[in-house]
Amino acid sequence: GAAWALAAEANTLLISGDSHNGWAFDIAQDGTPAAVEFGGTSVTSGGMEGSFPGVDPGRVARTLVAGN
């Protein structure tokens, strides 16, 4: 969970990368906003949505957006 972020009593920002996509997530603990996470995209690789053979990349992208 994100209890650690709430306990910090700060405006917590997480920066990550190497997921081959650029994205942002709101992180919550029991419905209470706790942090924001930004992921940096790769410069030389395609996005994750193209990594599933036989699956429409648009469908993968829509599923990832809906899950956020």
Residue 34 is predicted with a pLDDT of 93
Paired strand residues for 15? 38
Residue 36 is predicted with a pLDDT of 93
Residue 44 is predicted with a pLDDT of 77
Cα separation, 13 vs 22, in Å, equals: 15
Residue 42 is predicted with a pLDDT of 76
Indicate the SS3 state at residue 33.
strand
Cα separation, 42 vs 67, in Å, equals: 21
Q: Which two tokens stand for residue 38?
A: 């930004």
pTM: 0.61
Query: pLDDT by residue for the chain (68 residues), tens digit each?
Result: 788 888 998 999 999 877 777 788 898 999 999 999 998 887 777 777 777 889 998 888 888 788 86
